Amino acid sequence: MKKIILYILFIIILIFSMPIIFTNPFNNIEETSSKKVEQIYEKADYGDFNIIRLLHTNSGEIENIEMDTYLYGVVSAEMPANYNIEALKAQAIVARTYTIYKLLNGSKHENANICDSSLCCQAWISKDNRFARWDENLRNEYWNKIVTAVDSTSGKYIVYNGEPINAFFHSNSGGLTELPSNVWGGSYPYLQVVATSGEEEYNGYASEVEFSKDELIQKMLEKYSNFQINFDEVNCIQILDLTEGWRVKTMKIGNVCLSGVDVRKIFGLKSARFDFEIIGDNIKFKVIGYGHGVGLSQNGADALAKSGMNYEEIIKYYYKDVEIKS
């Protein structure tokens, strides 16, 4: 009799358990997860700026491209994909801000908002060309990381007193960023000299360039037709003054005084923060940093991210008294 009762109880429990057995217990989790992803990566509406007119400098063609899609190409061209995700997010917001600033303040290019050259605007590369330069085994991982950095910050840009900033950035500050007044003239209250540790671990931190005395003379004559120098004089080449960011402000070479920025251009130096020495018939420039030094340092951003800073902290470290607006 007990066996019959137990059997009946088993049948009843089994009947009531059927809906549970045949219902996927993970459906709700998957639905919740999907909704969460949609919320994180919801694309912003940029209004009049939804479409960017991008000038391809090599071909002269102008491409209409959606803002965040354009930024995939900028971030993947401007910052290595193996950098910390918080550094990539900071780069995405800085690049978006730089673009918005350009859109609001006019373009140098006829019929285009911005170009794909870092020498003029900011670098950009197509997905196909980017994939061709990445290791085949890392392409998808790297691209997904770039897309995440852009999409997870969609619509975010940097403002000072409610207005988009001129978000300058560069590769490696050499430990100290620079005031824009020492590079192009003019000033912005949010762009100050900032110290960053950890940049010495990156390839762009230190470099050397060496020229013969004849090569130096030739390069100077190309710029200054009246140039003369007597290498027998003790101070035939000397640094006269440094900037707040420890870069060369003014320098005398022979009979010509010029800025550190001009010296950098003439001799193809990576930075205006340099020293020199005359060794026999050669002049060696020892350079610290890579780029103009104004605004966010990309190597510095990665170093700060590795130390535990998030993208907002990194941005506010390099741009003073700013806010990130959505």
Q: What is the domain partition of the chain in residue ranges?
A: 47-200+293-325, 206-288
- Which two three-digit tokens encode residue 35? 């909704």
Residue ranges of E strands in 161-280: 163-164, 169-170, 206-212, 237-242, 248-253, 256-259, 274-279
Residues 6+ apart with CB under 8 A from 258: 250, 251, 266
Beta bridge partners of 283: 211, 278
State pTM to two decimals.
0.85
pLDDT of residue 49: 84
Query: Residue 7: what pLDDT?
Result: 52
* Nearest CA among 85, 101, 185, 192 for reference residue 144: 85
The CA–CA distances, whole Å, from 256 to 57, 239, 259, 263, 264 equal 35, 12, 10, 11, 15
Q: Which residue carries 């103009």 as its tokens?
A: 292
Starting at the edge strand that comes first in sequence, how are the strands of the sheet with 274-279 ordered?
Answer: 206-212, 282-288, 274-279
Give the separation between CA 100 and CA 105, rounded to whole angstroms: 9
Beta-sheet strands, E only, within the chain: 51-55, 62-66, 114-115, 157-160, 163-164, 169-170, 206-212, 237-242, 248-253, 256-259, 274-279, 282-288, 296-297, 323-325
Q: CA-to-CA distance for 85 and 240, rounded, in angstroms?
A: 42
pLDDT of residue 43: 82
Q: How far apart are CA 62 and CA 55, in angstroms?
A: 4
Cβ pair 67, 52 in contact under 8 A: yes
Please tell me the predicted confidence (pLDDT) of residue 107.
82
Q: What is the pLDDT of residues 209-233, one digit of tens each?
A: 999 999 999 999 999 999 999 999 9
Decide: 314 and 87 in contact? Cβ < 8 Å.
Answer: yes
Distance separating alpha carbons of residues 109 and 107, to the nearest angstrom: 5
CA proximity to 72, closest of 7, 145, 150, 3: 150
Task: Give the residue ranges of the chain where pLDDT is below 50.
Answer: 2-3, 6, 8-10, 12-39
The helix/strand/coil state of 56 is coil
Q: What pLDDT was estimated at residue 85?
A: 98
Backbone angles phi, psi at 28, to 5 degrees: -65, -35
pLDDT computed for residue 18 by the predictor: 47
